[in-house]
Amino acid sequence: MRGRYVIIPAIVQNCSKKSVKKKNRKQRNKDFAILIGRALRRAGQVARKTARAHGTPIYVWRDGKVVADKP
Protein backbone atom coordinates (compact mmCIF):
# COMPACT_ATOMS: atom_id res chain seq x y z
CA MET A 1 0.00 0.00 0.00
CA ARG A 2 2.61 2.51 -1.02
CA GLY A 3 1.35 6.08 -1.00
CA ARG A 4 -2.02 5.22 0.54
CA TYR A 5 -3.06 5.83 4.10
CA VAL A 6 -6.06 4.34 5.84
CA ILE A 7 -7.87 6.53 8.34
CA ILE A 8 -9.62 4.55 11.05
CA PRO A 9 -12.22 6.51 13.04
CA ALA A 10 -11.93 6.29 16.80
CA ILE A 11 -14.91 5.30 18.91
CA VAL A 12 -15.30 7.72 21.78
CA GLN A 13 -17.84 7.42 24.57
CA ASN A 14 -18.89 9.87 27.27
CA CYS A 15 -16.84 12.79 25.96
CA SER A 16 -17.90 16.25 24.96
CA LYS A 17 -17.37 17.25 21.34
CA LYS A 18 -14.87 19.98 22.26
CA SER A 19 -12.59 17.67 24.23
CA VAL A 20 -12.80 15.02 21.52
CA LYS A 21 -11.85 17.52 18.83
CA LYS A 22 -8.94 18.83 20.90
CA LYS A 23 -7.63 15.33 21.63
CA ASN A 24 -8.07 14.26 18.02
CA ARG A 25 -6.27 17.38 16.78
CA LYS A 26 -3.28 16.73 19.05
CA GLN A 27 -3.09 13.08 18.02
CA ARG A 28 -3.52 14.01 14.35
CA ASN A 29 -0.64 16.51 14.62
CA LYS A 30 1.60 13.80 16.08
CA ASP A 31 0.58 11.38 13.33
CA PHE A 32 1.22 13.97 10.63
CA ALA A 33 4.64 14.75 12.10
CA ILE A 34 5.57 11.07 11.87
CA LEU A 35 4.29 10.79 8.30
CA ILE A 36 6.07 13.99 7.23
CA GLY A 37 9.36 12.73 8.69
CA ARG A 38 9.01 9.47 6.80
CA ALA A 39 8.20 11.28 3.56
CA LEU A 40 11.24 13.56 3.90
CA ARG A 41 13.56 10.62 4.54
CA ARG A 42 12.10 8.77 1.56
CA ALA A 43 12.52 11.87 -0.64
CA GLY A 44 16.16 12.13 0.45
CA GLN A 45 16.78 8.50 -0.44
CA VAL A 46 15.25 8.98 -3.89
CA ALA A 47 17.29 12.15 -4.46
CA ARG A 48 20.54 10.37 -3.52
CA LYS A 49 19.67 7.40 -5.73
CA THR A 50 18.90 9.68 -8.69
CA ALA A 51 22.10 11.69 -8.19
CA ARG A 52 24.14 8.49 -7.96
CA ALA A 53 22.57 7.16 -11.17
CA HIS A 54 23.38 10.35 -13.10
CA GLY A 55 26.74 11.09 -11.47
CA THR A 56 25.68 14.51 -10.22
CA PRO A 57 26.39 16.02 -6.80
CA ILE A 58 23.75 16.40 -4.15
CA TYR A 59 23.63 19.66 -2.22
CA VAL A 60 23.26 19.61 1.56
CA TRP A 61 23.32 22.18 4.34
CA ARG A 62 26.38 21.61 6.53
CA ASP A 63 27.90 23.96 9.14
CA GLY A 64 25.82 26.92 7.94
CA LYS A 65 26.80 26.52 4.29
CA VAL A 66 25.46 24.72 1.23
CA VAL A 67 27.95 22.03 0.23
CA ALA A 68 28.03 19.74 -2.83
CA ASP A 69 28.50 16.10 -1.85
CA LYS A 70 28.97 12.99 -3.92
CA PRO A 71 26.17 10.58 -3.10
Q: Number of H helices and number of E strands within the chain?
A: 1, 2
Contact criterion met (CB below 8 Å) for 69 and 59: yes
Q: Which of 31, 37, 1, 70 is nearest to 23 (CA)?
A: 31
Residue 43 pLDDT: 94
Taking the CB of residue 23, how many other CB atoms lie within 10 A of it?
13
pLDDT at residue number 25: 80
Query: Domain locations in the chain?
Result: 17-69
Residue 18, pLDDT > 50, answer: yes
